[in-house]
């Protein structure tokens, strides 16, 4: 399953998330690719494409994401409910704000999206 996490104009948050995922033991082997902007934002980091291969990947990503969001909030790097960028998850035609979800809720959402088979994004 391929998901996309949007920068929403906050490249710094997204770069921080990418770094976090690359150093987290549970997510360091996930396929994570950057998506750069075209046109006036050419070269700007706009999103991360993340490939989750199986249920363990989903659980590890959910835990790493929520941990990252919590650390950023504790460090004052974003609003009280998490970083401004990296809050929106896109899978197929669905876009969901995940900035408030617990790791269990996020893992459940990802499992449901994976089983729904949204077109054009499944691996």
Query: Within 13 Å and on the Cβ side, how many CA atoms surround 30?
Result: 35
The CB density around residue 105, as the number of other CB atoms within 10 Å, is 13
Q: Tell me, what's the pLDDT at 76?
A: 74
pLDDT at 78: 59
Number of domains in the chain: 1
Residue 36: inside a domain: yes
pLDDT over threshold 60, residue 123: no
- DSSP three-state, residue 3: strand
Residue 123 located in a structural domain? no
Give pLDDT, residue 4: 97
Binned at pLDDT 50, 70 and 90, residue 105 comes out as very high
Q: Is residue 122 part of a domain?
A: no
Is 121 within a domain?
A: no
User: pLDDT at residue 41 above 70?
Assistant: no
pLDDT at 85: 85
Mean pLDDT over 76-90 rounds to 71
Inside any domain, residue 34: yes
How much is the average pLDDT of 30-59?
88
Q: Which residue has the higher pLDDT, 95 or 83?
A: 95
> Distance between CA atoms of 59 and 123, rounded to whole angstroms?
17
Q: Which residues span the domain enclosing 78?
A: 2-116
pLDDT at 1 over 80: yes
Does residue 23 lie in a domain region?
yes
Q: Region 88-107: what's the mean pLDDT? A: 95
67 in a structural domain: yes
């Amino acid at each position: 399953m391929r998901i996309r996490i949007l920068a929403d104009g906050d490249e710094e948050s997204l770069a921080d998330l990418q770094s976090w995922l690359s150093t987290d033991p549970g997510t360091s082997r996930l396929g994570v690719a950057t998506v750069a902007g075209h046109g006036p934002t050419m070269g700007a980091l706009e999103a991360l494409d993340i490939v989750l291969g199986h249920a363990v990947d989903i659980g590890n990503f959910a835990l790493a994401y929520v941990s990252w969001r919590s650390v950023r909030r504790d460090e004052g790097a974003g609003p009280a409910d998490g970083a401004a960028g990296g809050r929106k998850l896109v899978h197929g035609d669905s876009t969901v704000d995940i900035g408030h979800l617990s790791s269990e809720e996020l893992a459940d959402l990802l499992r449901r999206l994976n089983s729904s088979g949204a077109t054009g994004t499944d691996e």
